[in-house]
Amino acid sequence: MSRTPFIAGNWKMYKTGPEAVETARILTQLCSNVQEIDVMIAPTFLSLPLVAASLEGSKVKIGAQNLYFEKQGAFTGEVSADMIKAAGAEYVIIGHSERRQYFGETNALVCKKIKAAIEVGLKPILCIGESENQRNKEKTFLTLDKQVSDGLKGFGLDELKDLVVAYEPVWAIGTGKTATVDQVKKVHQYLRSLLEKLFSKDFADQTRIVYGGSVKPENVKELMGIEDVDGALVGGASLDANIFINIINYDI
Ligand SMILES: O=C[C@H](O)COP(=O)(O)O
């Protein structure tokens, strides 16, 4: 089963609107010859409509970094799936470890957010990953199992057709510590078999599982060479288009 590689940049809380538009413009130019790879960037909510407009006709796709599951209402400071879709997003990152860690997001909340995304036709990127403590206590697989099983609870196969799973060990995010090839291989294999157990073999075969955590031009080729790694979710190294393009062009 061939899966189109997915290389995504999560811009987190970086870049003003004009800065985001400028980086997107440069990235579009740099990506003009990129083929058979889905490239996505996720700017802040404020920059989303500006960047989406600037990407018209570009190969670069756009996503949001979060959403709130309610359709509308008195939820000060929150943004709904409808609003994100209307702003031009195609994807949405859900359950990033920074949301879980700093904003108390639980697997149950993540599940509601995925439902809200699917209902409006946004493609969800479900982020999962163990903390250093969980890994040291040999609870990596247990943690991931729960994050996937609870996060995807109650969905039918057709609803999850555009799902992307992002494995991001918390201890590797923004730390410069990348998981070893062996660690990544074991987890991605495990996740693929978990998707098969929970849903079906076809579903497991077609779903992209990407790796995140200190991905950079120097290590991306090795990571992308691992069986069952279908792409990368990149933080810091996606902020500069001239660096990010070297991750996107990992195979050149
Ligand atoms: O969403 C991206 C991840 O948090 C990875 O961030 P990083 O590449 O800066 O380690």
In ligand 1, which atom is closest to the CA atom of 98? 4
Under the banding of pLDDT at 50, 70 and 90, the label for residue 2 is confident
Instruction: Give the residue numbers of the binding site.
Output: 10-12, 174, 214, 235-236
Q: Tell me the per-residue pLDDT of 15-63, one tens digit each, with 9 for 90 and over.
A: 999 999 999 999 999 999 999 999 999 999 999 999 999 999 999 999 9
Ligand 1 center–CA 205 separation, angstroms: 25
- The fraction of the chain above a pLDDT of 90, given in percent, is 97
When pLDDT is cut at 50, 70 and 90, the band that residue 193 belongs to is very high
The pLDDT of 54-76, averaged and rounded, is: 97
Given a cut of 90, whether residue 177 has pLDDT beyond it is no
- pLDDT, position 178: 83
For residue 18, how far is its CA from the centre of ligand 1 (angstroms)? Answer: 22
Domain map of the chain by residue range?
A: 6-248
Compute the mean pLDDT over every residue in the chain, rounded to the nearest whole number. Answer: 97
Instruction: Give the CATH number of domain 6-248.
Output: 3.20.20.70
Task: Report ipTM for this prediction.
Answer: 0.99
Per-residue model confidence (pLDDT) at position 212: 97
pLDDT tier at 1 (50, 70, 90 boundaries)?
low
Q: Has residue 72 got a pLDDT over 70?
A: yes
Q: Report whether residue 215 contacts ligand 1, using a CB cutoff of 6 Å.
A: yes
CB atoms within 10 A of CB 72: 10
State mean pLDDT over 110-125: 98
What is the mean predicted confidence (pLDDT) over 100-113?
98
- For residue 83, give the nearest of 69, 95, 103 by alpha carbon: 69
Q: Is 168 a catalytic residue?
A: yes
Q: Is 214 in the pocket of ligand 1 (CB under 6 A)?
A: yes
Rounded to whole angstroms, how far apart are CA atoms 200 and 161? 12
pLDDT band at 198 (very low <50, low <70, confident <90, very high): very high
Banded model confidence at residue 202, pLDDT cuts 50, 70, 90? very high
84: CA distance to ligand 1 center in Å?
22
Q: Which residues pair with 128 in a beta bridge?
A: 167
Average pLDDT over residues 189-205: 98
Name, in order, each residue with C-beta under 8 angstroms of 237's C-beta and a sequence gap of 6 or more: 215, 216, 217, 243, 244, 247
Query: Closest ligand 1 atom to the C-alpha of 166?
Result: 1
| Residue 211 φ then ψ, to 5° | -110, 145
d(CA 121, CA 113): 12
